[in-house]
Amino acid sequence: MDIRNILLVSPMYKELQVLIEKEAPGKSFRFIPEDKLTQADLIWADALVSFNLKADYDYSSVKWVHSLGAGVDRFLFKKEWNDEILLTRTICSFGQRIAEYCLSYILKDLQFHDIFEEQQQQKKWEQRTPRLIGNQKVLVYGTGEIGQMIAKVFSGLGVDVYGVSLSGKEKEYYTEVLKLDSHFSRLNEMNYVINTLPLTERTEKLFDSSIFSRLSDAGFINVGRGASVDEEALLQALTDNQVRFAILDVFAQEPLPENNPLWSHPRVQITPHISAVTTANEGTACFLETLKNIDENKPLTNRVDTIQGY
């Protein structure tokens, strides 16, 4: 594949320009913000590097699209993809970042941070014994790069980590990997449930009452995609104490509308899609490595299966 003209469309286009231009001699670049994209840019480009595809543009002349994020649902979900266009995604520290994000909130729960903070405000001395993380069971939906890093970090602390995937294929660091179609019987054993799944037609609103109703006072963390969660079912599960608390970093609509009831729920923690950010340095490193591999006709470990959607 001959890639000469490369179009980078991103809010951090200025940082990317400083980092990339000097590292890819012989290539022509255009660095622009998302609101300045034109059809003429796309006609010029052999490759597009961006976080998403904007509607109402024709991308058929582009040979390669590289996602600056880990997820590619903005490119594929409920869209028709031209199979002649190569699609790759960014792989960097996402797994480590998300594992630390999840660990921080689970430790906060086990160590009773909220309760002790409230007691301090009341000048109240009342002891509670923190629970050990090694006595917990954690279920991770998705056993890919991110899910495996979560399993590695948590299993290293003695946690029994269970996974859920389409295939149910066993993977390192998991006590057991369950098939998506037959995992319900184990749900009531879990202390914490973490979603890392990409958004596909199969995972849209996957987390509904059929899952939440089988939980028993579990913590729920969503670092996958917001549209995988039925928000009404989650709110009901919180009311029914099937879900004890929810840590939500992703939402079907972002920014989350001010009138969304999740904002004011006392047992919901909202973060603004920060569990795994793409830094300019990491995004640049992955893009340049992918470009080099394309130029040298080497295998691409970050190539997206556009049929599977990840």
C-alpha dihedral, 148 to 154 to 156 to 158, nearest 10°: -130
- SS3 category, 70: coil
Which of helix, strand or coil describes residue 72?
A: coil
Separation in Å, CA 272 to CA 21, 130, 140, 256, 310: 31, 29, 21, 8, 23
The pLDDT assigned to 55 comes to 82
Task: Please state the pTM of the whole predicted model.
Answer: 0.95
DSSP secondary structure, 28-42, as one string: EEEEE-GGG--HHHH
- Residues 6 or more apart whose CB falls under 8 angstroms from that of 278 comprise 51, 68, 69, 70, 90, 92
Weakly modelled stretches of the chain, pLDDT under 70: none
The span from the CA of 168 to the CA of 219, in Å, is 23
Number of Cβ within 10 Å of residue 20's Cβ equals 21
pLDDT tens-digit map of 254-285: 999 999 999 999 999 999 999 999 999 999 99
Cis before residue 255, ω within 30 degrees of 0?
yes
Phi/psi of residue 242, nearest 5 degrees? -75, -35
- What pLDDT was estimated at residue 204? 98
User: Which single residue is written with the structure tokens 């670049």?
Assistant: 29
CA 226 – CA 223 distance, rounded (Å): 8
Which residue type sits at 93?
S
> What is the enclosing helix (H) or strand (E) of 258?
none
C-alpha distance from residue 78 to each of 14, 73, 160, 309 (Å): 31, 8, 36, 10
Name the superfamily (CATH) of residues 94-270: NAD(P)-binding Rossmann-like Domain (3.40.50.720)
- The residues of the chain that CATH labels 3.40.50.720 are 5-92+278-295, 94-270
271: nearest Cα among 139, 108, 145, 150: 108
Question: Which pLDDT belongs to residue 229?
Answer: 99
b (16+ CB within 10 A) / e for 233-268: bbbbbbeeebbbbbbbbbbbeeebeeeeebeebeeb
pLDDT at res. 56: 85
| pLDDT for res 54 | 86
Strand, helix or coil at 76? helix
Which pLDDT value is given to residue 7? 98
Q: Report the CATH number of the 5-92+278-295 domain.
A: 3.40.50.720
Q: Which parts of the chain fold into alpha helices (H)?
A: 13-20, 39-44, 73-76, 94-110, 113-121, 145-155, 209-212, 231-239, 280-295
Closest CA to 254 of 35, 52, 92: 52
How is residue 281 annotated by DSSP? H
